[in-house]
Amino acid sequence: MSKQLVAFDKIGITFNDRVLLNNIDMAINEGEIVTLIGPNGSGKSTLIRTLLGLQEATSGQLFRHKTLRIGYMPQKLHIDPTLPLTVKHFLALVRGVDKAQILPTLEKVGIAHLLNSQVHVLSGGETQRVLLARALLNKPNLLVLDEPVQGVDVNGQVELYNLIESIRNELGCGVLMVSHDLHLVMAKTDTVVCINQHVCCSGSPQHVTKHPEYQALFGVPGADESIAIYAHQHDHVHDEHGDVLSANDKASNNTAPSSHANCHHA
């Protein structure tokens, strides 16, 4: 049985009386790809920051396996554009990096030819691959990828998702990916977790995308079926604390929350 790398146990985060995360239960196993989706402001980055140890939970527990080693790929590369910096030198800045691994790692992500290129001239897809290489140089058993296909065209997105899958297959690592509310997830994603402060729903994307009503509404997966469009329809609204409002609440504009058991999704 594969090792559980991370487990969120009823994790909650409240900031100045505002609930950012509420009762989050979620786990990631070695070899598993978990995709986190949710609308803007739903708490995806907050959840990632909690996992990275940058944000403290105010309730619940976060279990990290003692062998956990995270390779983190941020949303964007933040470097002063006036600073001359080659890909090689950028990757050499990784703490404790084995410099002999830089070229093989660039080969793994398909951009060995960019070793001596300036990071500022790279395309969106190339930049994402450099960031992925940087995450891999940390020798992770869990890759945490925050919107890895951001700024990449659709064909490039398919290639990147395929690359992430092949890296998972080769290394046997776990992968936690954040996707934006476009609901693009890989067909090979094992588990999709949709959050909106709380966990709205989770399960395999294949199950969701094969549903006839789903296909009637949102179409069949495109681009050689390596990716699937996962659409999540809320039939409810949330108050400012992230709690679900019942129909009566909405009608009367009463903001008292109803139970999350009433949280249904099409």
Ligand X SMILES: Nc1ncnc2c1ncn2[C@@H]1O[C@H](COP(=O)(O)OP(=O)(O)OP(=O)(O)O)[C@@H](O)[C@H]1O
Q: Which stretch binds ligand X (CB under 6 A): 36-44, 88-96, 207-215, 252-260?
A: 36-44
Select 29 or 46, whichever has its Cβ closest to ligand X: 46
Helices (H), the chain: 44-51, 87-92, 102-108, 124-136, 154-171, 205-209, 212-218, 247-252
Q: Please state at what angle helix 124-136 crosses helix 154-171, rounded to 10 degrees.
A: 10
With CB under 6 A as the contact rule, the residue among 11, 20, 109, 192 that binds ligand X is 20
The answer to the question of residue 29 lying near ligand X (CB under 6 A) is no
Closest residue by Cα to residue 47 from 252, 251, 242, 257 = 242
Q: Which stretch binds ligand X (CB under 6 A): 40-48, 64-72, 103-111, 229-237?
A: 40-48
Radius of gyration of the chain (CA): 20
Q: Give the Cα separation of 74 and 180 in Å (integer).
A: 14
Provide the minimum distance between the beta carbon of 243 and ligand X in the complex, in angstroms, as a whole number.
15
Binding mask 151-190 for ligand X (x = CB under 6 A): -----------------------------x----------
The answer to the question of residue 104 lying near ligand X (CB under 6 A) is no
The answer to the question of residue 129 lying near ligand X (CB under 6 A) is no
Provide the minimum distance between the beta carbon of 84 and ligand X in the complex, in angstroms, as a whole number.
31
Q: Which stretch binds ligand X (CB under 6 A): 33-41, 61-69, 93-101, 226-234?
A: 33-41
The answer to the question of residue 198 lying near ligand X (CB under 6 A) is no
**CB atoms inside a 10 Å sphere around CB 95:** 6
With CB under 6 A as the contact rule, the residue among 15, 79, 107, 220 that binds ligand X is 15
| Cα angle: 67, vertex 190, 33; to 5 degrees | 35
- Bridge partners of 142, per DSSP, are 70, 174
Q: Give the Cα separation of 115 and 91 in Å (integer).
A: 9
Provide the minimum distance between the beta carbon of 159 and ligand X in the complex, in angstroms, as a whole number.
23
Q: Give the Cα separation of 7 and 25 in Å (integer).
A: 7
Q: Give the Cα separation of 227 and 187 in Å (integer).
A: 5
Provide the minimum distance between the beta carbon of 253 and ligand X in the complex, in angstroms, as a whole number.
22
Give the footprint of ligand X on this chain (CB under 6 A). 15, 20, 38, 40-46, 180
